[in-house]
Amino acid sequence: MDPLSQLFAHPRAERAFGLLMTMRPPWAVHIADESALTLMVVTGGRCRIEARDAGHDLHPGDIALVRGPHPYRVSDRAGSPAIARIEPGQRCITPDGRPLHVTYAHGLRHWGNDPDGPDTVIVASYPDAGSVGRFVTDVLPDLAVVPAGRIDAALITHLHRELSRDGLGQSVVLDRLIDIVTIEAIRAWAAEHPPARAPWLAGVTDPAVAAALDAMHTRPEKGWTVADLARVGTVSRATLAERFGRLVGQPPLRYLARWRLALARDLLADPALTLDAIAARVGYSSGFALSAAFSREYGHSPAAHRRRLIAPAVALTAGPDQPMSVTKRQNG
């Protein structure tokens, strides 16, 4: 399973937030929810996104990926007055701090200053990408735009329809659709803007390196050697080492160590897993060996990291001053 797949499967991917935003100009929303990654799809009218030093005008069918946790601004056009602010936990307030959820809510997943407004945008946010997910999000700029037509329009239509109704298994359907549209958007963007700092993507142009990466991603628990990985790629040890280092930017076993530790870092979110169990899953001989490697890499112990992960989180359920959330599946 590669990092893009792991982004949507790690134990911290517990909740996704999704809604259909409808606005009537002039409007602007300041978003400071600190989400790791947000997907926005314009389905009608117009929309402008300004993220740090980047800004882009979007039209129907355009998709934007906004990498957190920095705040950004969404509006109908540059200079429009702010009418709302979104804070962590998807808490919606006016610019001067008054609760705004009741005023702008038009149903379970419908939000905006006018339920019939011409500017319509699908918004889906991932509060936490996890350590493995950051292999993906770190590849993206603050604002990545995918022009209309780059992914199947039927996916967008389906997602829009599901956000507009309720039914059995609705949250599961929305989870899957949001994940699929996000994956397709990342793939489409990466195809046109090959990232310079994405080691897990750099090797896909070389069959031997790609095979080695797939082996490490899929079976991190195996005691891989460079010779083993070379056999998977059907090349010599020296050939794999040279190609891997040139394309990925680091030796194969160094990349493997980083991948294993990122996986372990996310698995620590599950309090039912002992350190020895996590070590076995990611290829370390014991919890002690994993702890030593983890501490060298991150500067703190697995126990300290676990305490932070399992600290009580702010609930994302609906309240009087925040919009609804879509509960995402719990992964083991």
**Same domain membership, residue 116 and residue 218:** no
**Same domain membership, residue 138 and residue 38:** yes
Gap between the Cα atoms of 78 and 55, Å rounded: 9
- The CATH code of the domain that includes 19 is 2.60.120.280
**Same domain membership, residue 159 and residue 220:** no
The reported pTM is 0.77
DSSP assignment string, 93-131: E-TTS-B-HHHHB-STTEESS-TT-SEEEEEEEES--HH
For residue 68, give the DSSP letter.
Answer: S
**Same domain membership, residue 79 and residue 21:** yes
Partners of 48 in the beta sheet?
57, 75
How many structural domains comprise the chain?
2
- State the residue range of the domain holding 157: 3-194
Per-residue model confidence as pLDDT tens digits over 166-216? 777 778 888 888 888 988 998 888 888 766 556 666 666 789 998 999 899
Per-residue model confidence as pLDDT tens digits over 109-144? 899 999 999 999 999 998 877 777 777 777 788 999
**Same domain membership, residue 203 and residue 181:** no
Token digits for 122? 């699908």
Gap between the Cα atoms of 73 and 49, Å rounded: 6
**Same domain membership, residue 203 and residue 217:** yes
- ∠2-169-22 over CA atoms, to 5°? 85
Residue, of 191 and 37, whose pLDDT is higher: 37
